[in-house]
Structure 1
Amino acid sequence: MYDTILVPTDGSDAAMNAVDHAVDLARQYDATLHVLAVVDPTSFSTLDVDPSTVVVAMERQAREAAQRVETVAEEAGVAIETAVVRGDPARTITTYATDNEADLVVMGTHGRSGLDRYLLGSVTERVVRTADVPVLTVRYEE
């Protein structure tokens, strides 16, 4: 049923909760798990800081988040591919899913987006509305 499962991560607890589900599904279906961490350079545009410094820090955090998922997947014996890319998170996730022929996207219902989530709509909501493949949303209870 599933050969390629995409799990986007921002390193949040909600994203890691979704990882558990994605790893379990990948193990059950002998699927390859794709881990995607998206760095959104526009998310800090209202701050008075050096953009290059912030992007470098964001990319480091994204690589660390992807590495945590990679560790969980490897411990479960799941084949994994990771990517850290820049872009609009929702658009990048759906494009990545299409380009890599994902059969399923597994995402947490909440991430690190804070106020932006309420003003612009959550990344998960936008992926659910625009993805060409099924999106499994995993609710996170704090």
Structure 2
Amino acid sequence: MTFPMPTPRSLSRTSILQSEATTTDFAPPTPRSGGALAVQARHIPVRTGQEQIMQNVLVGYDGSQSARQAVAFAVDLAKRFDARLHVLVVARAPDWGAIELERRELVEHELRHANEVLTDLKATLASDGEHPEFDLIVGQPAKEIVLYAEQHDIDHLVVGHRGRTPFDRWLIGSVARQVLAYAPCAVTIVRDPAMFKKRRAKAAHQPADEIPFE
């Protein structure tokens, strides 16, 4: 006895990314005594259309123009997927080479700056009716952003690109590059359009072999 193969049908991305339900999947028939065949059924999860594709979006913010662009992108992304938006500000900790007194003063300075940019952003987003979850951490920005994403089940991470020259996009120590390398989720790096307009305008008046060294 043979079973006809099911006719394949096309599935859209929306129909694939759905929530779990149950259906019956028929295993191959097994013979019973006397030659009869028994069909064994088991329940497996399928998608039904109610699953939330993206639940948590994180944006790293430092007050720079590219970070502002990143926040705007993250707000729109969270709205599109009805996701929870997290905003993380990291007060950069000094290198261990600094003496204790210098470290304390540097941390206090970074915390003041971080609180200022965070307060300004809260006011700006509140005026637009946005109330994400805010957090401020002291540490190395790339490391803290990645750890936060791991600990809060972030589905999509957004950071700004702070490059000032064409070579900055390849710098190993850049925050954006380290986040891209180690993040546990999808990452979007947002560039500041105004910066590239200025760069193109400047490049138009320079010889081509001098542009990378601006």
Normalized against structure 2, the TM-score is what? Answer: 0.57
- Say which is worse superposed, 119-128 or 132-141, in terms of deviation: 119-128
Counterpart selection for 1:32 from 59, 84, 88: 84
1:58 corresponds to which residue? 110
**Structure 2 regions of 5+ residues with no counterpart?**
1-52, 196-214
Residue type at the aligned position of 1:89:
P
Residue type at the aligned position of 1:39:
A
2:119 corresponds to which residue? 67
**Alpha-carbon distance change, 121 to 53 in structure 1, aligned in 2, over 3 angstroms:** closer
**Alpha-carbon distance change, 109 to 89 in structure 1, aligned in 2, over 3 angstroms:** same
Q: 1: CA distance between counterparts of 2:177 and 2:91? A: 18
For the pair shown, which has the larger CA radius of gyration, 1 or 2?
Answer: 2
Matched, 1:137 2:189: yes
1:91-121, CA deviations, whole angstroms, 9 ceiling, x for partnerless residues?
1100001101111111111179xxx987642
Matched, 1:20 2:72: yes
**Structure 1 regions of 5+ residues with no counterpart?**
none
Q: Is the 8 A contact 1:8 1:37 kept in 2?
A: yes
1:122 corresponds to which residue? 174
2:56 corresponds to which residue? 4
**Alpha-carbon distance change, 68 to 24 in structure 1, aligned in 2, over 3 angstroms:** farther
**Alpha-carbon distance change, 14 to 37 in structure 1, aligned in 2, over 3 angstroms:** same
Q: Is the 8 A contact 2:94 2:106 kept in 1?
A: no
**Alpha-carbon distance change, 136 to 99 in structure 1, aligned in 2, over 3 angstroms:** same
How many angstroms does 1:10 deviate by? 1.1
Structural RMSD (CA): 2.6
1:107 corresponds to which residue? 159
Q: 1: CA distance between counterparts of 2:118 and 2:169? A: 22
**Alpha-carbon distance change, 11 to 18 in structure 1, aligned in 2, over 3 angstroms:** same
Counterpart selection for 1:78 from 101, 114, 130: 130
Q: Is the 8 A contact 2:58 2:87 kept in 1?
A: yes
Alignment: residue pair count: 138
**Alpha-carbon distance change, 118 to 77 in structure 1, aligned in 2, over 3 angstroms:** same
> SS of 1:50's equivalent?
helix
Q: Is the 8 A contact 2:172 2:178 kept in 1?
A: no
Residue type at the aligned position of 1:102:
I
> SS of 1:42's equivalent?
coil
